Structure 1
């Protein structure tokens, strides 16, 4: 493999694994926020207790995924300087702005709000505590937006001018409203909600098949997950199709490959615009990514649509306890959502090759002047670390999900008393003089 191929393999592997953490985080956090809001403002003590346990259980799984995933995010920034110095030199003045904003939001604002939410159980007022988890959700999606703004510039560069072989930002508003980023954001938000809903549906189904005693908790979780997955999976297919006109206008070769027509004409036009070269991406990869995304998306949409009707009169809950194949079907959908989302990124990234910045900078011109040996070493180490983190993450998630709500550690601390009790405190009578040490 060439140095460019190694650099591409390293970035594709690490980005793909990191994305598995991100999409579950974005999918779970609004559901946890919704559950916490319901729990906080439920007046019935029995229902409130169940909904609080529900919030803590799913919140625990969300926090595990977030904590391990943020470690993988730390490495992503360094690869631009390590393997892609040509990109930094050409587009760093433009590409770096949204990337810096994403880093500030994800590693400072989002993590700070999340820490306050985790340790705020029993210590903060109800409204403040609920607001914190919604701020976590807001910053999570803001982080995703700025990443797509950065990626949108690579897909369709706008709001810049080239001076001295380097791009300079001239219109920040154009960068933020890039159609290639905004339509993709809608698609990814719905894909994340589908992932979160299916995850909640699958885990709940497994507990019913197992014969759980937490019937009310997992019934509510099952209903929420099913409705969210059904609605999101339907609209994610619709919004996915809305991207095609944008692709046709901004990346005619990718559109031609997706439609299996006009590839030769697109190649001819690109040669006229940019000079001799092969501008056809790896067609089989693009088709595999698109087919996997469409087949899985339509399958999940169909299954969850049927499941919504089975929720009536509690038939789905009863069937899950009697028909294990149905429960395992729900569980099997969990990994399928991740496969579909990775397929989407394959279409987005592979489809624009050989460009790194479309129409401006080719992949071969952006690779750092690093030895092949160094890239082999870094690729091996990074991929091994990311795989180990992914295995660790899903081992922990599976373990806590199987144990159920009793395993939740979030909110385990007792609330602080409003005033100190009278009499001995900490074994020392406050009416006696303190001992000398």
Structure 2
């Protein structure tokens, strides 16, 4: 009975990690994709000084800031569930696994937040080239954050650079840790998936506005064309780096149906989206904004990159089961002792409710921005331009 209870708790803990990890990854993916796009938009505005380019930066920059702000909270939930359910991982591999996570928090995250704050509040206050440098610094530190996270995850897939001493893993080769064979292609794969996701968000949002008509048609025509080019580039790189990863997969991975199912799905739908983006959308990039009959289909395709990303993440994580650290520490041994199914059920419901609410909030806020269009934007607006707050009695 005791063993049965622990197995029930283990299944619940794995479900909890899958739910929290998947929902958090949705925010991260869009952040990684929008950051370089906004930086490129800002560069074009800085060079041209054109008002329409400024509107583009302010609109899509506000979408980026909204997603970033809500996504931070989901990251905090991830930290809570790590400490709650997986203390065995910390005891055994914390000296190695925790190092890139700490560097992500202390170096990348705080720098990213600082530069983003300077970019948000430096509008009209900083010299234009310094202001531009801030958003590029945001992009680079966001990529650095992803690098450290993927370094930690790749260590779980392939514990390179560490040896076991006294029942714990110790880092003996930092270079091996940061040049892990499961990292060198998975990192650009994630960044490319972010570009594909952001591109399809631009396409879907622009299709929605163009379908409705209105005076902002020129603005969303440019945004749709930018999104199509970005999506085509992103899916091409995603597929390329995805296939490149198979050369570094350890023997025995993806043997079970549990991991193979999301991996079949990801590859099949990913290949289909590659064909759609590169051979259908890209050649018609000048015509799709005018063809209203295609806009509903483009809107339907918007969530596909998110679904593919979750399938890829699940395949990567499920592929190494039953190991938490490949051939070193099992998932069962990594789980915190003393947890009961009831305890994990309570935290699972709580975390899912919080993350689900945050996801809905993020969607609602971004949808509201898209419906309102590039007018009355808070980002970059002077105090006299901002709409007066509504009074309530």
Q: TM-score range by the shorter chain?
A: over 0.9
Aligned partners of 2:282 and 2:96: how far apart in 1?
46
The aligned counterpart of 1:290 is 263
Q: Is the 8 A contact 2:269 2:308 kept in 1?
A: yes
List aligned pairs for 1:294-305, cutoff 5 A: 294-305=267-278
Aligned partners of 1:167 and 1:25: how far apart in 2?
33
Greater shift, 211-220 or 51-60, is seen at 211-220
Aligned partners of 1:333 and 1:298: how far apart in 2?
14
Aligned partners of 1:111 and 1:53: how far apart in 2?
23
The aligned counterpart of 1:69 is 71
Question: Structure 1: where are the runs of 5+ without partners?
Answer: 258-282, 416-437
Q: Is the 8 A contact 1:91 1:168 kept in 2?
A: yes
The aligned counterpart of 1:4 is 10
For residues 247-293 of structure 1, the C-alpha deviation after alignment (integer angstroms, 9 at most, x for no partner) is 0xxx21115x2xxxxxxxxxxxxxxxxxxxxxxxxx33322211221
Aligned partners of 2:190 and 2:308: how far apart in 1?
11
Q: Alignment RMSD, CA only?
A: 1.4
Q: Is the 8 A contact 2:66 2:365 kept in 1?
A: yes
List aligned pairs for 1:311-350, cutoff 5 A: 311=285, 314-320=286-292, 323=293, 326-350=294-318
Aligned partners of 1:350 and 1:307: how far apart in 2?
33
Q: Is the 8 A contact 1:292 1:339 kept in 2?
A: no
Name the larger-Rg structure.
1
List aligned pairs for 1:64-213, cutoff 5 A: 64-213=66-215
Between the two proteins, the alignment pairs up a number of residues equal to 376
Q: Is the 8 A contact 1:159 1:171 kept in 2?
A: yes
The aligned counterpart of 1:51 is 53
The aligned counterpart of 2:326 is 358
**TM-score (normalizing by structure 1):** 0.83
The aligned counterpart of 1:389 is 358
The aligned counterpart of 1:432 is none
Q: Is the 8 A contact 2:109 2:145 kept in 1?
A: no
Q: Is the 8 A contact 1:152 1:178 kept in 2?
A: yes
Greater shift, 24-33 or 293-302, is seen at 293-302
Aligned partners of 2:359 and 2:122: how far apart in 1?
28
The aligned counterpart of 2:237 is 235
Q: Is the 8 A contact 1:4 1:364 kept in 2?
A: yes
Aligned partners of 2:262 and 2:382: how far apart in 1?
46
Greater shift, 208-217 or 4-13, is seen at 208-217
What SS class does the counterpart of residue 162 from structure 1 fall into? strand
The aligned counterpart of 2:335 is 367
Aligned partners of 1:38 and 1:13: how far apart in 2?
39
Aligned partners of 1:212 and 1:26: how far apart in 2?
30
Match among 246, 258, 283 for residue 309 of structure 1: 283
